[in-house]
Amino acid sequence: MSSEPKTFAVIIARAGSKGLPGKNLKPLAGKPLLAYSIEQARASGVCDVVLVSTEDETIARVAREHGAEVPFLRPPELAADAAPAEPVVKHALETYEAMTGEQFDIVVYLQPTDVFRTPEMIRECVNRLKANPELDSVFVAYKTHKNFWRWTPQGYARLAPDLATYKARQERDQVIFREDAGLASATRSYVVKMGRRLGDRVDIVATDDFRTAVDIHTPFDFWLAEKIMTEWDPAADHSGAGRRALAQESRHEVAWLGGDLTSWAQSIRNGYARAFIIFALHETGVFETLRRLGPMTVEELASECRVDAHLLDGVLNFLAFADEVLVKNGDRFALGPRGEWIFADPVMAMSFGAVGAYSCLLYELVPTLRREKRYGVDFVRRGDLVAKGSYYTGRGNYPWIVSELRRLGVKTVADLGCGSGEVLIAFCTLDATLQGIGIDISQEALEEARSRVKAGGLGDRIALVHGDITHPETFEEHVGDVDAFHGMMVFHEFLRDGEDAAVRIFRAMRERFPGKYLLIGEFNRLSDDEFRAMPYPARMHPLFYQYIIHPLSWQGLPIAKERWLALFERAGLKVLAVKDDFPFRLVEYVLQF
């Protein structure tokens, strides 16, 4: 069976706007303009990568905060006033493919100044292209009843002569379409690599939503868009556009908090069940099997994944009718229109970390609140699942970390708290010259890491040793050739014993490994005001991390970037670099003992 075409979404956002300076970051109805396009692309469920092409570091940071990838900056010559979109999109695609080794079949192009698109528009463009191999491009266009004229050497001429006979608007055929490819367009990658935005063989996704005419380039455009967003009441507009907008907003409201008690209450039931089902189907390989082999019956899936068919039938049916990530056709199940969401890093991190590793905190919450049980004594998280969750949480950071290791001349890096080895494997995959040493206190985690390293063919480059981070002498003899140490979401755990405990560990390592580098990735704590300013969906991950995982597992609460910097200073560490624009509120620190 052929693999599913991969889709690459590009949003181009430069800093040098003349008509409306700073427009891409200008707050529109309380949110940066750029954020709308990123969120719409992610919500479409059909974009494997959502990338922002920019030459500006501030735009890059904001883009990452809202879930886009910005692994490189656009060259200055492609950010000039007169630079067309085509070479910018081509550069983004070819650079990302060269950097990652991935190949994409479809390119989605989105303009950040078009904020009134819907995720459905993007999804329809991509799905039509996937369904018809004869097409080069599919784009959104506004259908209109108006007549259009143009100037020719012979004088003014009607653009569509067949509309010469005037009729009532309701009786006229819809034959005129205004191209709005910036709202959403999907094009074969080979067309993009030819320097074109659209191919010759096209299909159109038609819209009559009047709001799509607002393309924000001037102060008036911005004012109008904000007026529509904040003051237009679709419920009072009984036209087709009003009804469709109202339906869209209603779907969004039900998805977050619910428009009524029933919606809110049943969304709790749905979310509760979905969380455990998604984790279980990831852990048993069911999702990956569907992704690899396509539609299958319950019996075929159960046999392939070695699970109970009766139980699998129940959870598959629940998910197929409670969500859009899975669909049922006859007796066969397959990934649905939003099936690729299942494999997105935020979902994988939630699945293995929040649900797989830390669900014990919630199902033991009543006895722990009553002081009848205590975490770490009567029950404990699964360390292997913590490692998996941390891998997906930090994976977006890895290319930057590896580039820093190269810049520092690091040949061998030791990963502290390596868990099942995913981080070291990722590092050594990104850089074929890098050697690694994994250090962990859990023998079970090290055994799992050994099997993964062997399966990845990296046994000659990655060594694994038992050691306790709080006592560097336990692994000192194994790291003589190490140039740098790395710790992803590791050192915050020692804050349960106070900040002095973390300082003591840093000082102990500095005494034994003077001059060596230390790269740390840690969560940046949010204030109450920061939480209040965030939309509800964006709050969920940091809320869970900051106020569920840490207090309920008796770890020290996460601390803000400024307090980490103060700890490093107390420990006598030299701060070489700080990068704070990664997803999941992660901050990377490059230090030297």
Per-residue pLDDT of the chain (593 residues; tens, 9 = 90+): 346 789 999 999 988 777 788 889 888 877 889 999 998 898 888 899 999 999 999 999 999 988 899 999 999 889 887 788 899 999 999 999 999 889 999 999 999 998 888 888 899 899 889 888 889 999 988 877 677 777 888 887 777 665 555 555 545 555 667 777 778 889 999 999 998 988 889 888 887 777 877 888 888 888 888 888 777 655 555 555 555 554 444 444 334 565 567 777 888 888 899 999 999 999 999 999 998 898 999 999 999 999 999 999 999 999 999 887 898 888 999 988 778 888 888 888 889 988 999 999 999 999 999 999 999 899 998 877 887 887 787 777 888 999 999 999 999 999 999 888 888 998 999 899 999 999 999 888 899 899 989 998 999 999 999 999 999 999 999 998 999 999 988 898 888 888 999 999 999 999 999 999 999 999 899 888 888 877 777 788 889 888 998 889 887 778 899 999 999 999 999 999 999 887 778 899 999 99
Q: How do 31-32 and 27-28 pair as beta strands? A: antiparallel
Whole-model pTM: value is: 0.55
CA-CA distance, 311 to 347, in Å (whole number)? 23
Are 118 and 205 in contact by the 8 Å Cβ rule? The answer is no
Determine the pLDDT at residue 234: 57
Does domain 261-343 fall under CATH 1.10.1060.10? My reply is no
Angle between helices 422-430 and 383-394 (to 10 degrees): 30
Kindly report, residue by residue over 92-123, the tens digit of the pLDDT.
Answer: 999 999 998 899 999 999 999 988 888 888 99
* Backbone dihedral angles phi then psi of residue 307, each to the nearest 5 degrees: -125, 170
Residues 6 or more apart in contact with residue 381 via CB below 8 angstroms: 357, 358, 360, 361, 553
CA-CA distance, 589 to 181, in Å (whole number)? 41
Kindly report, residue by residue over 437-496, the tens digit of the pLDDT.
Answer: 999 998 888 998 999 899 989 999 999 999 999 999 999 999 989 999 999 888 988 888
Determine the pLDDT at residue 516: 97
**Residue range(s) occupied by CATH 3.90.550.10 in the chain:** 7-234
Determine the pLDDT at residue 411: 96
* Chosen CATH of 7-234 out of 2.170.190.11, 3.90.550.10, 3.30.300.210, 3.30.365.10: 3.90.550.10
* SS3 category, 207: strand
Determine the pLDDT at residue 253: 38
**Residue range(s) occupied by CATH 1.10.10.10 in the chain:** 261-343
Q: Give, as one character, the DSSP assignment of residue 560.
A: -
Determine the pLDDT at residue 255: 43
CA-CA distance, 104 to 8, in Å (whole number)? 6
Determine the pLDDT at residue 254: 37
Q: E strands, 443-563, where?
A: 462-466, 484-488, 517-523
Residues 6 or more apart in contact with residue 371 via CB below 8 angstroms: none
Q: Give, as one character, the DSSP assignment of residue 45.
A: S
Determine the pLDDT at residue 161: 60
Determine the pLDDT at residue 249: 45
Checking 319-323 for CB contacts under 8 A at 24+ apart, the result is: 319/274, 319/277, 319/278, 319/281, 322/270, 322/273, 322/274, 323/270, 323/274
- Token code pair at residue 571: 């420990």
Kindly report, residue by residue over 272-328, the tens digit of the pLDDT.
Answer: 999 999 999 999 999 999 988 989 999 999 999 999 999 999 999 999 998 878 988
Are 340 and 46 in contact by the 8 Å Cβ rule? The answer is yes
Q: How do 7-12 and 106-110 pair as beta strands? A: parallel
**Residue range(s) occupied by CATH 3.40.50.150 in the chain:** 397-592
Determine the pLDDT at residue 245: 53
CATH architecture, domain defined by 397-592: 3-Layer(aba) Sandwich (3.40)
